[in-house]
Amino acid sequence: QNQSTVSITVVGASGDLAKKKIFPALFALYYEDCLPEHFTIYGYSRSKMTDVELRNMVSKTLTCRIDKRANCGEKMEEFLKRCFYHSGQYDSQEHFTELDKKLKEHEAGRISNRLFYLSIPPNIFVDAVKCASSSASSVNGWTRVIVEKPFGRDSETSAALTKSLKQYLEEDQIFRIDHYLGKELVENLSVLRFSNLIFEPLWSRQYIRNVQFIFSEDFGTEGRGGYFDHYGIIRDIMQNHLLQILALFAMETPVSLDAEDIRNEKNVMKEYIPIQVKVLRSMRPIQMEDVVIGQYKSHTKGGVTHPGYTDDKTVPKDSLTPTFAAAALFIDNARWDGVPFLMKAGKALHTRRAEIRVQFRHVPGNLYNRNTGCDLDKATNELVIRVQPDEAIYLKINNKVPGLGMRLDRSNLNLLYSARYSKEIPDAYERLLLDAIEGERRLFIRSDELDAAWSLFTPLLKEIEEKKRIPEYYPYGSRGPVGAHYLAAKHKVQWGDMS
């Protein structure tokens, strides 16, 4: 171990993601003693900057999550001393060769392991990978590259990207991040299901009426309109974050916690039947009539006017790009036949939240449905996994109201993380960066999984775009288009977050 070193190069170091997420996550890992003894961090981007300037920039973004601890400032100083900067073009072999020389100096003859985090626009992924792999990859250790979505815009462009990347890297060197998979409550989903006796036996069409995956943000595109307009909410959130969670939720029991065993139970590859991919491939093509799209418009509340989506200067005035979508999906397999999996994702809604809601079936012949305040339609059990904010898991149950009469109400069995655990929850990027350094691939997206995800959404996206489907407009800060209720009602479902 002492003979090896890890060099982490953040390509696109002056960008927003690097500043807000990657450097702070690396620092948190350092603080928690999770980084290897010998490591160096390089920021790489086009701007001219000295090491000191990079350190100043990074230091402003390090939120000492652990600032209650005395030595936080000291740790920050130590960490910053391990950060360096190299200015270069993303498509320049020469500049990556210069970086290679600098990395070698730090590595001082040890086994060199190199991790490149591509925090750059997708149109320059391939050039950067080409240069990094041919001019700056490790000669005696591993070289890994983390890439983050968008992985194309549809099946064709995604396949072309994968093909180009594979000219320079093996599949096991590519770490495709979906940061939702690094979120604590998403990681906990399998623990909840597979290490408690009471959930897994209920995890099927026999007991579950429907499952809902809800993502909402209480702010609009805010400066990201240019990027967003090219993708829209379906590509930005549904095709990846929500679909990944769905696959984890619905997969069969994996043989073990081994990355390949898990990812196999989430798809179907030629030589063997894989599991996470298998779920995705069992999904019924999404029907246009099972999809609602929306776009937020300007709204004034309490004297404050919030701009509409097309008021963003980087968005074309006539844009039809959805900022909201709701969809009903189905998995045609023995476990889930007929169970609606509803997804809802939107920007500029009334609240920020990400959650999974599992609504169970009615109690057959419920003895308590008369004159007890128990409304059969509403009184089903519901398991809620609140991914953020205020992480929590709660189960809605029917309970007798204390007293001499017989009245029921719905109460929660509640596991609120802030009340139960004193330790702060690590950011998703911390877990994923650590996994990439350790070569743990469980939470990263394999190319067959990516293909399956695109196969599901590409026909729908084409139809929406070719037919120029008009989104339903909703006011900024509202609960979104009414159409989402009709969609749920069509499948005999009520959105859990609306009740």
**Pattern 109-128, binding to ligand BG6, x per CB under 6 A?**
--------------------
- Name the closest residue to ligand BG6 (Cβ): 236
Instruction: Identify which of residues 96 and 213 has a Cβ nearer to ligand BG6 in the complex.
Output: 213
- Binding to ligand BG6 (CB under 6 A): which residues in 326-365? 354
Shortest Å distance, C-beta 498 to ligand BG6: 20
H or E, element range at 329: strand 324-329
Among 229, 236, 290, 448, binds ligand BG6 (CB under 6 A): 236
Q: Write out the DSSP string of 130-180.
A: HHHHHHS--SSS-EEEEEES---SSHHHHHHHHHHHHHHS-GGGEEEE-GG
Cis peptide before 24 (omega within 30 of 0): no
Residues 354-413 that bind ligand BG6 (CB under 6 A): 354
Phi-psi region of 383 (alpha: psi -120 to 50; beta: other; left: phi over 0): beta
Q: Output the six-digit token pair for 444.
A: 């990263």
Q: Please state the closest distance from residue 21 (CB atom) to ligand BG6, in A.
A: 9
95 is catalytic: no
Of residues 219 and 421, the one with the C-beta less far from ligand BG6? 219
Q: State which residue, 165 or 237, has the beta carbon closest to ligand BG6.
A: 237
- Least distance in angstroms from the C-beta of 354 to ligand BG6: 6
Residues between 182 and 221 that touch ligand BG6 (CB under 6 A): 217
Token pair in block for residue 331: 């998995």
Which residues of 57-152 form beta strands (DSSP E)? 83-87, 111-118, 143-148
86, 95, 179, 241: the catalytic one is 241
Residues 181, 241: Cα–Cα separation, whole Å: 8
Output 6 or 293, the one with its CB closest to ligand BG6.
293
Instruction: Give the closest residue to 214 by CA, choosing from 385, 22, 24, 6.
Output: 385
Could you tell me the smallest distance in angstroms from the CB atom of residue 400 to ligand BG6?
38
Cα dist from 264 to 77, 255, 299, whole Å? 43, 10, 46
Contacts (CB under 6 A) with ligand BG6, residues 129-188: 179
Taking the complex as a whole, the smallest distance from the CB of residue 224 to ligand BG6 amounts, in Å, to: 7
In the shown chain, the binding pattern of residues 282 to 311 toward ligand BG6, with x for contact by CB under 6 A and - for none, equals ------------------------------
- Minimum CB distance to ligand BG6 smaller for 217 or for 451: 217
The gap between the terminal CA atoms of the chain, to the nearest Å, is: 54
- Give me the sheet containing 291-297, strands edge to edge: 408-416, 392-400, 382-388, 353-360, 208-216, 341-346, 324-329, 291-297, 472-475
Pairing of strands 208-216, 341-346: parallel
Is residue 267 within 8 A of residue 277, CB to CB? The reply is yes
CA–CA dist 28, 30 (Å, integer) = 5
**Residue 435 interacts with ligand BG6 (CB under 6 A)?**
no
Nearer to ligand BG6 by C-beta: 40 or 310? 310
Instruction: Report the residue number, 225 or 254, with the smaller CB distance to ligand BG6.
Output: 225
Tokens of 334: 């023995």
Strands 341-346 and 324-329: antiparallel
252 is written with which tokens? 């069969």
How many chain residues touch ligand BG6 (CB under 6 A)? Answer: 4
CB of 215 to ligand BG6, least distance (A): 7
- Cα 8 off chain centre by: 22
218 vs 261, beta carbon nearer ligand BG6:
218
Nearest distance from residue 328's CB to ligand BG6, in Å? Answer: 23
Spatial distance between the Cα atoms of 250 and 277, rounded to a whole number of angstroms = 11
Least separation, in Å, of the C-beta of 217 and ligand BG6?
A: 6
Q: Residue 65 carries which DSSP code?
A: T
Question: Where in the sequence numbering do the catalytic residues fall?
Answer: 241
Q: Which residues bind ligand BG6 (CB under 6 A)?
A: 179, 217, 236, 354
